[in-house]
């Protein structure tokens, strides 16, 4: 099964923005594409969009923080923290989503 390198820009509106990097398989890519441009607590979401956002929120909770892009074997994505720019080489997809507080 083919995977894609994904950067997730996850906004916690109005407080902060977090960045997550990881590899997504075809099933995860389909869910991520449903999340793009959508936010938890947004109105007028379809059931599929709400389910995808709930899945992503669960995936991103308590993730390992990394400066170097290493993802722990048991985690699909990791939280990127660094004062250096994120290396976008080989990036296949950017997803912008989040949570409205």
Length of the chain: 101
Q: Give the pLDDT confidence score for residue 58 in this predicted structure.
A: 87
68: pLDDT confidence band, cut at 50, 70 and 90?
very low
The Cα–Cα gap between 78 and 16 comes to: 17
**pLDDT tens, residue by residue, 16-66:** 999 988 889 999 999 999 999 999 999 899 999 999 999 999 888 866 555
Sign of CA dihedral 26, 27, 30, 35: negative
Rounded to whole angstroms, how far apart are CA atoms 39 and 31? 13
- What pTM does this model have? 0.83
Strand 16-24: give its sheet, edge to edge. Answer: 39-40, 93-100, 4-13, 16-24, 77-80, 65-66
Q: Who wins on pLDDT, 83 or 91? A: 91
**The pLDDT of residue 87:** 77
């Amino acid at each position: 099964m083919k995977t894609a390198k994904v950067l997730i820009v996850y906004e916690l509106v109005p407080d902060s923005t977090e960045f997550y990097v990881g590899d997504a398989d075809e099933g995860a890519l389909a869910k991520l594409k449903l999340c793009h441009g959508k936010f938890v607590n947004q109105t007028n979401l379809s059931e599929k969009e709400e389910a995808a956002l709930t899945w992503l929120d669960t995936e991103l909770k308590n993730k390992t923080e990394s400066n170097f892009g290493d993802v722990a074997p048991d985690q699909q994505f990791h939280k990127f923290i660094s004062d250096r720019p994120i290396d976008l080489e080989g990036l296949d997809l950017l997803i912008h989503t989040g949570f409205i507080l």
